[in-house]
Chain A
Amino acid sequence: MDDLLSEFLTETTENLSLLDVELVNLEQNPTDGSILGNIFRLVHTIKGTSGFLGLPRLESVAHAGENVLGKFRDGELEVSPQAVTLILRCMDSIRDLLTSLEETGAEPEGDDSSLIEALNAAAEGGLPAADPVEDSKVETASAPAVESSPESAGGASEEPPVETGDMEGADAASVGPVNMDAGFPVAAELLDEVAEAEAAGVVAASDAEIASEIAKEVKQSIAVEAKPPTNGAGESRPANQRTQAEAKDPSVASQSIRVNVETLESLMNLVGELVLTRNQLLQMIRSRNDSEFVVPLQRLSHITTDLQEGVMKTRMQPIGNAWAKLPRIVRDLAVETGRKIELKMLGADTELDRQVLELIKDPLTHMVRNSADHGIEKPADRILVGKPETGTIMLNAFHEGGHIIIQIIDDGKGLDVGRICQKIIEKRLATESELESMVDQQILQYIFRPGFSTAETVTNVSGRGVGMDVVRTNIEKIGGTVDLKSEAGKGVSFTIKIPLTLAIVSALIVNCGGQRFALPQINVLELVRASGATETRIEMIKNSPVLRLRDRLLPLVDLRSVLRVDDCETAIKTDADIGAIASTADRGTQNDCFVVVTQVGEYTFGMMVDGVYDTEEIVVKPLAPVLRELPYYSGNTILGDGSVIMILDPGGMAGETSSEVSQLAQTDDREAALRDETMSLLLFRAGGNEPKAVPLELVARLEEINVSDIERSQNRALIQYRGRLMPLVPCDPYFEWPAEGRQPVLVFVDGDQAMGLVVDQIVDIVEERLNVDITADSENLIGSAIVNGRATDVIDVSYYVTAAFPDWFGAISGPPAGESVSQLRVLLVDDSAFFRNMLVPKLEAWGCIVTAVPDAASALNLREEGRTFDAIVSDIEMPVMDGFRLAEEVRSDPRWASLPLIALSSHATEKDFQRGREAGFSDYVAKFDRDGLTTALSELISAK
């Protein structure tokens, strides 16, 4: 093919994909002149270049489109969805012409007069004012008529991409007329870096070579300048920002060159080999200390690492490349189904390996399409439930650790758990009783099962039952995970977590049955040595091994039995090795081994292995086809010593844990999470050497006051603090004021009131699980807790604030009450962090397991999550939803209706009591009458 023609095809295809994005942008911001200018210029360029190459059909179609755009620009014609649809149709037509041009090297015979007439009519203002849905039908029907190229008549690219609902469709739609998926831009500086590192001259690609390469293989090239939109289609950027962004682009583009993907792939491969060789050399040199090779080898090692990073960077592409088609898809879908959808895209410039990008492109397209089709309701339905008419689908990509997180969030109706259950039973995937024992989150996971679709009618767009399972398989294939959350009426969010690159990963090498295996480091949380002699030992629950690790149950997989390495060993061992086999059998007790705590998605489990070696950078080589069916392996690699080992697939291994145990472990986790909540404690000294502690959140500020500034009034110490008089109370009752100097003070603030607690010395701030061991006798202490391994008194701030302001809590403490509230699960609702922090340790000291939330909405969320409690203690005066309304809400739903509900308020009059009882409170306690609270709790529990 003529070089110039190749160049033309590449350039025009780039421009077309830019146009798709910009046109959708334009529809959202019809008055944005800069978008319009850009569109006009792009179409103009297509027309101009077609003229140079003597392509009359392309030129005339582009010319007609340009005419309409010119009218838009001059304000003679209004930018309407119909008009944009027409322009998009014009672009599709150009695209089809390009396809034939690419295949045959010449424009196909044909006649574009009907399209051109339609465009000309539009330019004259003769646009049919049909409703959008109707309009789009007409278009799709008439599109083939304007198209006469043989292959496009039935081709998938002819139809708008939305016409196909399955993954294949997505594929066809994303391929486009010119296969643009195999080449991508590389910043010139990166290549310089590579070339530098490759002084040895592995592959030195000069610009000229590359240029001719491209010319030959235009099929494998994609856009350099094709910058995806960096923000949402609906977000209108200020014009100046826009031009700034544009001003930057060309300079980047001019520093970029096209490189054939195959060149990069082979570079990557060579780097992989180099890494392996380096590892091998390092291993050899390790045994000889005084070798003269040490220094050059070290240098080689560094260069290899740099080279690896450099080549890796050349493979990086912004994720926006995979998103470029989405605005058009969503737009077409919205028109077709009569919905209003805004697509927001954040973090489009987040970069990831092109191989990964290729693999997630289709799943992403599918998920966005699903959200648009299933998730977002029709405008009328949205208004009914009080949502804005326009639904939003948000794509968000960002780096986290060595991963890319991609979120797809819609504000639609959410997944219908009821329908999913129905479908599960219909398909016999689980029984009704099994479903009852599952939480919603577990039920939702079924949508990832093959052939699972809840769409009531099969539409063009979705509901063919091919979809989410393919999405998950594709994502898991690249070592990623997909997680979903759904809230009825509020929408669905998918979170995809994928590794940055697939080619070289850091892996932990483990030993099992005398063989070595590699385990991707990203899945490894920790290593535990389990032995019968220590606390961490392996137990059996329902015939499945579990490890009790820090009060949590961890389901285990015995690698030996899963991989059956014992069998192979027995088969190859000679008689002389009998002893070794016997010792293997000894491990029947399953103790004395290492447990690799592994995480797959949100699921944590342990793998039992015999030994752990080192972590190593390994080059992932694909599995031989014959092994590909095995779920336990994700690939293989060559170690430094030249041996070939298998890479374990933690995802496959997770399937080997017993489901009963995992469920048990999950419930256990939840309880553990409650107990494990840590709290920041401020440690200080006041009277004596023993440290005292107070929850840090209670402390508003730490101050040092000048003793000489202290004023006295009625036997109380006061200080001017922030324009007011603040009472000072010494923490130590035997405290004697020094004559002068500075004194540290902890300031407590609630509303307008402030109090200073005078201490001797502030020691430290620690993060500790506040497990108050003994309820103290002394009334100024909550109890004592183990902090930093030492018994520490936790002071009761309420005692001191009451000393400063007798009416601080509107009530005076009485004597301590009964202890029958132990192990009670209490939900505390209070908007004041001060009270929450003061009450939580206190209730915990009484033995309660406390969950504290700042408002009524969070409390009700816990109900939605399926959490249960033994009692609820709630403040009355809270913003947005007060305690009375919370009580009414709690009583109105069967889940929590029977729970004891205790109101806490500083307004404790008879009238309030009555109102509280009417709202559904079981009891009413004056705020911070702490003993009143225990009495109320214990009474309610015993009554129950």
Chain B
Amino acid sequence: MRTCLVVDDSKVVRTVAQRIVRELDFETRESINGLEALESCRKSMPDVVLLDWNMPVMNGIEFLRELRTSPGGERPKVIFCTTETDAKCIEEAITAGADEYVMKPFDTEIIRGKFAQVGLL
């Protein structure tokens, strides 16, 4: 089974996201910030990362830049989660190596669509 890493500092968001990706037949892992996510990735690269933007310690962009320069770090698909308030960082995220972005709040259908777009489904 393929794995999805959910990175968000809010447990509520992590819980919701994991429910959704499990429905899509993914195994899930979670991290509460970029730094933890990076450690998790270095141990074992997931197939897809659902990445929050604004997190303490290491935010989504910083994580993404680090990930893409790590060995094997180019492989995972990264879907960047934003809200309308930080929509202006979508461009920054794409430049940093995100494959897709999704607006919060999202639901199963939206995620399914995004996963399909990046070729996971």
Contact = CB atoms under 8 A, between A and B. Distances in A.
A48 B105 contact: yes
B55 A41 contact: yes
Contacts of B15: 3-4, 7
A53 to B, nearest CB: 7
Interface string A310-324: 000000000000000
Contacts of B11: 7, 11
A44 B9 CA distance: 11
B10 interface: yes
A38 interface: yes
Interface in A230-251: 246-247, 249-251
B32 A49 contact: no
Interface string B18-40: 00000000000000110110000
Contacts of A247: 35, 57
A49 B12 contact: yes
B10 A11 contact: yes
Given A250-B35, A250-B56, A48 B16 contact: no
A4 B12 contact: yes
A247 B35 CA distance: 9
A66 interface: yes
Q: Give the one of B9, B36, B83 with max A CB within 10 A.
A: B9
Contacts of A52: 12-13, 16, 104-105
Contacts of A494: none
A253 interface: yes
A660 B57 CA distance: 63
A70 interface: yes
B108 interface: no
A47 interface: yes
A599 interface: no
Given A11-B10, A48-B10, A250 B33 contact: yes
A247 B85 CA distance: 25
A747 to B, nearest CB: 57
Contacts, number: 64
Residue from A3, A7, A49 with most neighbouring chain B CB atoms (10 Å): A49
A45 B104 CA distance: 11
A51 interface: yes
A672 to B, nearest CB: 58
Contact of A254 (B32, B54, B86): B32
A246 B57 contact: yes
A48 B85 CA distance: 10
| Residue among A3, A40, A251 having the largest count of chain B Cβ atoms under 10 Å | A251
Looking at B15, B55, B56, B83, the one whose CB has the most chain A CB atoms below 10 A away is: B56
A910 B10 CA distance: 83
Nearest to B16: A52
Contacts of A45: 9-10, 13, 54
A714 to B, nearest CB: 76
A799 interface: no
Interface in A185-225: none
A424 B44 CA distance: 74
Interface residues of B, number: 20
Contact of A44 (B16, B35, B54): B54
A253 B16 contact: no
A461 B15 CA distance: 43
A398 interface: no
Nearest to A5: B12
A38 B16 contact: no
A8 interface: yes
B12 A7 contact: yes
Contacts of B12: 4, 7-8, 11, 49, 52-53
A48 B35 CA distance: 21
A637 B50 CA distance: 56
Interface of B is mostly: loop
B83 A253 contact: no
Nearest to A6: B12
A49 B83 contact: no
Contacts of B105: 48, 51-52, 54
Contacts of A246: 56-57
A90 to B, nearest CB: 16
A803 to B, nearest CB: 71
Nearest to A63: B85
B54 A41 contact: yes
A249 B56 CA distance: 10
Nearest to B19: A4
Given A44-B83, A250-B32, A254-B32, A49 B57 contact: no
A249 B104 CA distance: 26
Interface in B31-68: 32-33, 35-36, 54-57
Given A44-B85, A70-B85, A49 B33 contact: no
Given A51-B104, A66-B85, A250 B57 contact: yes
A45 B8 CA distance: 10
A39 to B, nearest CB: 12
Contacts of A254: 32, 36
Contacts of B86: 44
A740 B13 CA distance: 86
B53 to A, nearest CB: 9
A254 B11 CA distance: 12
B10 A47 contact: no
Contacts of B54: 40-41, 44-45
Nearest to A67: B85
B111 to A, nearest CB: 12
Query: Of B33, B35, B36, which is in contact with the most chain A CB atoms at under 10 Å from its CB?
Result: B33
Contacts of B16: 4, 52
Contacts of A54: 105
B6 to A, nearest CB: 13
A4 B104 CA distance: 16
Contacts of A49: 10, 12-13
Contacts of B57: 246-247, 249-250
Nearest to B84: A63
Contacts of A48: 10, 13, 83, 104-105
Interface in B69-96: 83, 85-86
Interface in A768-821: none
Q: Which of B12, B16, B35, B54 has the most CB of A within 10 A?
A: B12
Contacts of A53: 12
Contacts of A249: 56-57
Interface centre among A41, A44, A66 (most CB of B within 10 A): A44
Interface string A23-56: 0000000000000001011001101110111100
A45 B36 CA distance: 19
A237 to B, nearest CB: 16
A63 B55 CA distance: 18
Contacts of A44: 54, 83, 85-86
B55 A47 contact: no
Nearest to A54: B105
Contacts of B35: 247, 250
28 contacts: A4-B15, A4-B16, A7-B11, A8-B12, A11-B11, A41-B9, A45-B10, A45-B54, A48-B13, A48-B83, A48-B105, A49-B10, A49-B12, A49-B13, A51-B83, A51-B105, A52-B105, A54-B105, A63-B85, A247-B35, A247-B57, A249-B56, A249-B57, A250-B32, A250-B36, A250-B56, A250-B57, A254-B32
Listed from nearest, the 8 A-B pairs whose CB atoms lie closest are: A51-B105, A49-B12, A52-B105, A8-B12, A45-B10, A41-B54, A48-B104, A52-B16
Interface of A: 3-4, 7-8, 11, 38, 40-41, 44-45, 47-49, 51-54, 63, 66, 70, 246-247, 249-251, 253-254
Given A41-B55, A250-B36, 7 more contacts: A4-B15, A44-B83, A44-B85, A45-B9, A48-B104, A51-B83, A254-B32
